[in-house]
Structure 1
Amino acid sequence: MDRAPGLSVRVRLALSYAGFLMVAGILLLAAMWVYLVNSLPNVTVTIGGVLNRSALLRGFGPAAATVMGFLLVFGLLGGWVLAGSMLAPLTRITEATRLATSGSLSHRIRLPGRRDEFRDLADDFDTMLAQLEAHVAEQQRFAANASHELRTPLAVSKALLDVAHADPQHDTGELIERLYVVNTRAIDLTEALLLLSRADQGSFSREPVDLSLLAEDAVETLLPLAERRGVTLDVSGDIAPAYGSQALLRQLTTNLVHNAIVHNLPAQGAVWITTAVRPDTVLLTVENSGEKLPPALVATLTEPFRRGTERIRDDHGGVGLGLAIVTRIVQAHGGSLTVTPRPAGGLCVVVELTAVPPHISRRQ
């Protein structure tokens, strides 16, 4: 926003200090004047002789003017020094803000001294810069990973087309089938990125959504995949009415069940889906059997395009955004996500979301 230039805060504070000191001086001199007028007799006898009251009052004016001039100069100089001392922390904060607006997010104010309003502001600003720096770094990693993931199917498609171009007698049926698989993966990745962006924006309407029904729908949809992999699905629990987007929560549930099926034991695996209700929240828990995973690896699984080196990746392995999408959907709904390794192997994922508010429930 363009603004017309004006006086600096330091100048205004110095003028304010000087003005306040002048007003205080005027009031003090006025009180002395009233006292002299009303309390002194017409003639006062002193050791040195007789002092006339009118002569005393005539001399009061020049003396008062001298005092006021001194107070004005003293107030301006003192106010300028005091204002500079008080605004020194604000100057450091302003410099840090200018560095941040120029793109430098690594700078920190680290204002020394005891806690006060300026220190609180500086500490909050440092915290904001740290969060922004982490967010920007995450977005840069995400963009780089997304570019890499999108480039892979495109490069494969180009290689297949180059082979077909170089060898016109090549089996077109096999080429079309492989291109179909590669193109499907690219479409899945693009749709996942769009869904991730939608969850980040939080631009969705909220309504009561029963997580138990979504869990049953996900199990029914993914049952053929589970049967092919020899994984048994078990869904149980209470009616769990959450308050959010049905489409996003359906995607969340499907992603969790799909991940639990794909990243499981090679044979005789199992997935357990349960729902529960708490006083103000509802829970969706998805557990699966599998290999034992170290906690350090589990802590990274919610990051985009992060996959454990021990985890399975094939045509049904997804695009590496399953848990990342779940995390963003949970965050957009103001909930919490807990991912922990099971002692026997596999993962336990717990999603906690806000329950339907009472005033919404009464209208249903």
Structure 2
Amino acid sequence: MSVRIKLTLSYVGFLMIAGTLLLVAAWVFLMRGTPNTLVVPDLSDFRRVFDPHSFGPVVFVPAAVLVLGFLLVFGLVGGWILAGRVLAPLSRITDATRRAAKGSLSYRIELEGPKDEFRELADSFDAMLARLEVHVAEQQRFAANASHELRTPLAITQTLLDVARNDPNRDSGELDDRLRAVNARAIDLTEALLLLSRAGQRSNTGEHVDLSLIAEEATETLLPFAEKRGVTIETSGDIAPTVGSHALLLQMTTNLLHNGIVHNLPESGTVQVSTAIGPESVMLTVENTGDKLSSQLASTLTEPFQRGTERLRTDHAGVGLGLAIVKSIVQAHDGTLTLSPRAAGGLRVAVQLPAARRSP
């Protein structure tokens, strides 16, 4: 039984009960002071219903039967129409659900009218479809980029093997070194993809960590690499307690520092790392010197495999997933990530995370 039929029958049942109670009340009022006898109407009584000069207990019963019959027909027709009008938005939502199940995520209900329960449901469904459409587009773009990035080292390896097979006198040591380098890049890319998939999951560890200590740990790890490239790392800030995964937050900070070191000035560059605490959040900020960037370019650097042409260094280009991993880790910890170009050149990255509750 459909919902429309159920609503119609419910409306008719309520109408019939109300009509019956009304007629019983009228019958009781009409029979006051008369003998309590059961009136059994016949055909002549039904004819007398339409006689305006005849009215009494004998005529009341046939009239009540006719009224109830009218209420039954009126309730069925009116209830069916009213139920159809009330359930009309639900049919549009159902149609949108079927289209989404078939893969059409661009359709929107856009329900008009007062903001009732159906309007709120339709608006929520439209918002969900919009998020799903964006997510699917990102996944498709990511899959295409990942396939392209993984195909590159495999194609290089195939080319090197073909050249070595056609040239028996080629130095095997040089070929071995190049194959090792290409294989190492493929391994780095695969590990970065695995880390990106894990970073997208929400952290459930509930571990209390201090961003200032994590920044110091990441700085100590990358200090030799920074000195080799002539980059100075400056750390400052307050204790910044938060709750999350120590391993993921360390990976996030390491990626930010590594990104600031690699995409810096050719010499005498600096990377500034600072932490701060607010009433309800903690902040980790990483700033690096470098070439001037546009706001449009800075806003796209968190996309997977997105590299700014002005910031690409051929000696250590990476796999293009560093800031994408940072973004996933920040989202998994209910934080916000902000990238903005510095006026003097370089990039400023700010990570804001919920502060850990202080013990009383």
TM-score relative to the length of structure 2: 0.92
Letter of the 2:264 partner, please give it: N
Inter-partner Cα distance in structure 1 for 2:201 and 2:58:
77
Inter-partner Cα distance in structure 2 for 1:26 and 1:215:
79
Q: How many residues align?
A: 342
Superimposed CA distance per residue, residues 231-281 of structure 1 (whole angstroms, 9 cap, x where no aligned partner) = 111111112122100110000000000000001111111100011111222
Inter-partner Cα distance in structure 1 for 2:315 and 2:247:
24
Inter-partner Cα distance in structure 2 for 1:220 and 1:167:
46
> RMSD across aligned C-alpha pairs, in angstroms?
1.6
Shift of 1:304: 0.8
User: What residue in structure 2 maps to residue 252 of structure 1?
Assistant: 252
User: What residue in structure 2 maps to residue 333 of structure 1?
Assistant: 333
Letter of the 1:335 partner, please give it: G
Unmatched 5+ stretches in structure 2:
37-54
Structure 1 residue runs of 4 or more that deviate by more than 3 Å after TM superposition: 39-42
Shift of 1:323: 0.6
Inter-partner Cα distance in structure 2 for 1:27 and 1:315:
91
TM-score relative to the length of structure 1: 0.91
Letter of the 2:3 partner, please give it: V
User: What residue in structure 1 maps to residue 50 of structure 2?
Assistant: none
- Asked if 1:81 is matched to 2:81, the reply is yes
Matches within 5 A, 1:192-207: 192-202=192-202, 204-207=204-207
What secondary structure sits across from 2:119 in the alignment? Answer: helix
In terms of mean alpha carbon deviation, does 81-90 or 220-229 score higher?
220-229
Inter-partner Cα distance in structure 1 for 2:245 and 2:316:
26
Letter of the 2:113 partner, please give it: G
Inter-partner Cα distance in structure 1 for 2:32 and 2:271:
98
What secondary structure sits across from 2:31 in the alignment? Answer: helix
User: What residue in structure 1 maps to residue 13 of structure 2?
Assistant: 19
Letter of the 2:226 partner, please give it: A
Shift of 1:357: 2.2
Inter-partner Cα distance in structure 2 for 1:239 and 1:125:
42
Matches within 5 A, 1:213-228: 213-228=213-228
Letter of the 2:338 partner, please give it: T
User: What residue in structure 2 maps to residue 357 of structure 1?
Assistant: 357
What secondary structure sits across from 1:162 in the alignment? Answer: helix
User: What residue in structure 2 maps to residue 163 of structure 1?
Assistant: 163
Contact preservation (8 Å) 2:277, 2:283: yes
Shift of 1:88: 0.9
CA distance 1:28–1:232, change in 2 (3 Å): same
Superimposed CA distance per residue, residues 100-124 of structure 1 (whole angstroms, 9 cap, x where no aligned partner) = 0111001111122232222222122
Matches within 5 A, 1:109-124: 109-124=109-124
User: What residue in structure 2 maps to residue 108 of structure 1?
Assistant: 108
- Asked if 1:34 is matched to 2:34, the reply is no
Shift of 1:318: 1.5
